[in-house]
A and B are shown apart, each in its own frame.
Chain A
Amino acid sequence: MNIYVCVKQVPDTETKIIPNADGTFIETGSIKWIMNPYDEFAVEQALLVQAANAGSTVTVLRVGSVKDTEALRTAMAMGADDAFLVEAADNLDSYSIAKALKGAISKSGKNPDLILTGKQAIDDDCLQVPQILATMLDIPSVSVVVEYSGSTTDIVVKREIEGGALEVYGVKLPAMIACNKGINTPRYASLPGIMKAKKKPLVVLSLAEVSVVESDRRVKYSHFQLPPEKPSGKKFDATDSAKMGGVVKEVVGLLRTEAKVI
């Protein structure tokens, strides 16, 4: 099987995010990048499917800036065979990213049997790329998948829905599966794996090479700013029952005039 995994590189979950000086994006200089945690489930799932189907390959794809290739190297250290990086600014919109991924798949010269991603990226939380890419490739897609089983042609996946219930889908491959936490336990990239990954092929493509142009953008970011700081809460002393009436009056008054919620 030709298995593809799309991975995104996102700021470490402990990063303090601040907008850059001109407000066009976030300040990236001091960010520690990691593989999007949901994409780790996708890489692990790809490796599990590969192990169950001899002769399969796992190719990882990423669209983003080249200066740090952490996510792709981690995926290859975990066991993926090769990688494609489409070099682009980190603030592309979902449509352009999906189109770039489609271009990278076609540049790889193979037809995908299975494409895996995380259900969402934890930085911009758009939850769009898997579905847009599947639509562009005209293949079915299922997201928020927590269970995977099947053969090289047909698979059964389960996805989480409201109330903790599971929806079961029978899917014909090729298909796009977007993974959720719980589908597996991602392995560590072992140190021998890290050393071996150095020698695995990583192809870098430009946006032009995958035919993505500026007019492909469906979303333009106008401005990045921090949400306004929440003013600290007010405390009212209601321990003295004699003064209770006054306190209630004061709270109601403030809810009307200051908070304007009643």
Chain B
Amino acid sequence: MDFSYTPEQIEIKDLAMKFAKNEMMPKAQEFDSKAEMPFQILEKAWSLGLVNTCIPTEFGGNGFSAIDSMIITEALAYGCMGMNTAIMANDLALLPIVLGGSLEQKKKFLTPFTEKYKIAAFCLTEPSNGSDAGGIKTSIKEDGDDVIINGNKMWITNAGYADLFVLYGTTDSSLKHKAITAVVIEKGTAGIEIGKKEDKMGHRCSDTRAVTFNNVRVSKSNIIGGLNKGWGIAMKTLDHSRPMVAASAVGGAQCALDHAIKYAKERVQFNVPISQHQAIQFMIADMAMKTEASRLLVHKAAWLLDNQLSNTQLASYAKAFAADSCMQIATDAVQVFGGYGYSKEYPVEKIMRDAKLIQLYEGTSQIQRLVIAKEIFTR
């Protein structure tokens, strides 16, 4: 048992935190209010190796362990949770290829992402199927050497600028999980219709849209892991991506906590800094405790992955606990700031808006509990 980072991990963290503080934080508020993708910042992050952490060295990536990528994600989310969503959505979309793709597919689809800053989108959710992902209706029909895709996707991060879509559909919706199929669709393929940008509560600089697929034809060679093999790949992807989303919650929580501590030392009420009022101290103690507990769950979920051990349950612990804690911590940070916390002049209201999404995407906090309970009662 060892809780320390390796010397390289310390450096990775330092770089990512430096980037978060120098490049992301100063622009976070601006891009949030403009609701625009910060392409320059994203591209710079990419040039430093902070994007697409899931790509293995064979295909031009950096060969990061799961723990390494948690460290990076936490730091980037510290800088801005919304920008991190734009970054993390790439991993989310590329992971199915990393985990289930053939050698040819990996070379073809992953390597370009290491040569140039490119954007990927992960298309699972539909207007009428969110939590119940096994019930998706987007159809994938065989047609000779091709498949034809028809259906509507909803809440797709990065959709407006994506070079690559990784889509989950079904060959027969009555078969539920057994017919789920994952397929790669390149930008420019005929029949992709990008919807209007959602006007969101938080993560406003990330691009979220509906996408419609109208008779989109792609070669069968774009199917990941074979027809009807998509559900297994989706589950494996979640084992990786849920800890990552949880890591982003830790980053947001740590940022809210740091702001709260600093402000509590500066703000004087009743002739003393509010940090000397026990009610504030206890609130901040709880925030610190929950942040560290979340981080440890994230690290354990990632450590299990790095050691090829099953982490489904831990991934859900981490995702639910870190997301719920982040929401609480961000809310309490606003409380510590008092009325000033409610103003956009101060940084914590944005974290509170951003935190909410972590409880929703990649499986809501309720769905995580469902997964955990299932693991408990069916094993």
Q: Which of A's residues lie within 8 Å of B, judged by CB?
A: 34, 69-70, 73-74, 77, 188-192, 194-195, 198
Contact = CB atoms under 8 A, between A and B. Distances in A.
B62 interface: yes
A155 B274 CA distance: 56
B49 interface: yes
Contacts of A192: 49, 62
Contacts of B19: 188
A194 B47 contact: no
A194 B18 contact: no
Given A69-B7, A70-B10, A73-B7, A194 B63 contact: no
A191 B47 CA distance: 9
Given A70-B7, A190-B15, 12 more contacts: A34-B14, A70-B10, A70-B11, A73-B7, A73-B11, A188-B19, A189-B11, A189-B15, A190-B47, A190-B48, A191-B64, A194-B12
Nearest to A189: B15
B184 interface: no
Nearest to B10: A70
Q: Which of B10, B14, B48, B63 has the most CB of A within 10 A?
A: B14
A191 B62 contact: yes
A236 B363 CA distance: 61
B253 interface: no
Nearest to B49: A191
B50 interface: yes
A196 to B, nearest CB: 10
Contacts of B11: 70, 73-74, 77, 189, 194
12 contacts: A70-B7, A70-B11, A74-B11, A74-B14, A77-B11, A188-B15, A189-B15, A190-B15, A191-B12, A192-B62, A194-B8, A194-B15
B379 to A, nearest CB: 38
Contacts of A73: 7, 11
Contacts of A69: 7
A34 B50 CA distance: 21
A69 B15 CA distance: 15
B110 to A, nearest CB: 16
B7 A191 contact: no
B49 to A, nearest CB: 3
Contacts of B64: 191
Interface in B47-74: 47-50, 62-64, 72
Nearest to B47: A190
A195 B48 contact: no
A191 B72 CA distance: 10
Nearest to B11: A194
A244 to B, nearest CB: 26
Contacts of B8: 194-195, 198
A69 B10 CA distance: 11
Given A188-B19, A188-B48, A190-B49, A195 B62 contact: yes
Interface string B1-16: 0000001101110110
Contacts of A189: 11, 15
Contacts of A34: 14
Nearest to B16: A191
B348 to A, nearest CB: 20
Contacts of B14: 34, 74
A216 to B, nearest CB: 31
Contacts of B49: 190-192
A195 B57 CA distance: 11
A118 to B, nearest CB: 18
Contacts of B62: 191-192, 195
Q: Give the 5 A-B residue pairs with the shortest CB-CB distance, closest first.
A: A191-B49, A190-B48, A194-B11, A192-B49, A190-B49
Nearest to A34: B14
